Homo-oligomer: A and B are copies of this chain.
Amino acid sequence: MTNKSSHQTGLDNSWSIGIDLGGTKIAVAMVDASGQVLEQRRLATRVSEGPIAIQSEIVDAVLELRKYSVSKPVGVGIGVAGQIDPVSGTVRFAPNLDWRDVPIGNVLRNALDMPVFVTNDVRAATWGEWIHGAGRECDDLVCLFVGTGVGGGVVSGGRMLAGCSNTAGEFGHITIDLHGPLCNCGNRGCLEALAGGWAIARNAREMTEKDPETGAALLRLADGRPERITAHMVTIAYREGDPIAAKIVGTATEALVAGAVSLINALNPCRLILGGGIIVGLPEIVTLVDHGVHKRALASARIPLQVLPSRLGNDAGVIGAAIMAMRELTMDDPLQGPESTD
């Protein structure tokens, strides 16, 4: 193999295990040095069973995948939807998993007898897009992932930003509309409260309850029960020309343009990469955001800018986690990005 990625890791036939642990599903994958997923398992996250059961399921999935290769993996990388202590690999707080202070790094290390590297799930996905996705060979980029929640990552000057307590990238909680709708975080008008999947579903439920006639298409998808409306249903109804869905998607897109403009003006990336479930469901949002930011961002910041969809889609997290593990475990200055291998 002679591509840039395998050159970067310096290990031609090496592979590692990437894990993406979210509030609804877990992905566990064998990933080679070129960022290819060789094998993958997907499980539902049984949050109610608690951290011991979930960690045990992850261990089983890793052991199963190991059987596919005679060579040993370099290590394990895991991205968790929560705040991570970068030194100990402990999950400090993961609201969607209902975890506090779960030492998943040590648990997996002991159970698997392999080196384990823990990070945040969105940070892992940013690594994936940076090294093997839409951000390849770019030193300054911002990833914005719009799923149930909204988050992202920043690479600046060829380095991934971590922040003071390792929580940089909480783009869902930048204020877009000072007097806007209430967010889960307690603040008003956050990007996530206007464009996140949970907010899209909330708005659709409220509007359908108020006006069931106009909301007929959404109600049909939800078997007549507004409380069952999901963001996914909104994307389907939008395709069918449903007026409520059109209004909600319009609001979300307007907020995403404003949020993107903020990030572009503040950070001046060469590329803005959009991913996550909402973008996968409504890929035309990428074009709308592209047009919007090229009208509204400062000329100095928008001229060099490209707006691109995620290239790795749902695999960004496992690929990024696996790559981080490979870099962390095989390099002198592991987490500084591609330039550090020069």
Contact = CB atoms under 8 A, between A and B. Distances in A.
Interface of A: 83, 92-93, 140, 154, 156-157, 159, 161-171, 173-180, 185-187, 189, 254-255, 258-259, 261-263, 265-270, 296-298, 300-301, 303-305
Nearest to A186: B296
Residue among A178, A187, A266 with max Cβ neighbours from chain B (10 Å):
A266
Nearest to A83: B300
Contacts of A255: 178
A209 to B, nearest CB: 25
A300 B175 contact: no
Given A83-B300, A159-B159, A262 B174 contact: yes
Contacts of A166: 268
Looking at A154, A162, A187, A262, which has the most chain B CB atoms within 10 Å of its CB?
A: A262
A167 B298 contact: yes
Contacts of A169: 266, 268
A154 B163 CA distance: 11
B298 A173 contact: yes
Contacts of A265: 170-171, 173-174
A174 B266 contact: yes
A172 B298 CA distance: 11
A122 to B, nearest CB: 12
Given A255-B178, A301-B170, A164 B269 contact: yes
A176 B188 CA distance: 11
Closest 8 CB pairs of A and B: A163-B268, A164-B270, A174-B262, A175-B258, A173-B265, A168-B268, A170-B265, A177-B178
Given A164-B140, A165-B268, A268-B164, A261 B298 contact: no
Contact of A180 (B154, B178, B185, B262): B178
Contacts of A270: 164
Contact of A157 (B159, B175, B268): B159
A290 to B, nearest CB: 16
B261 A165 contact: no
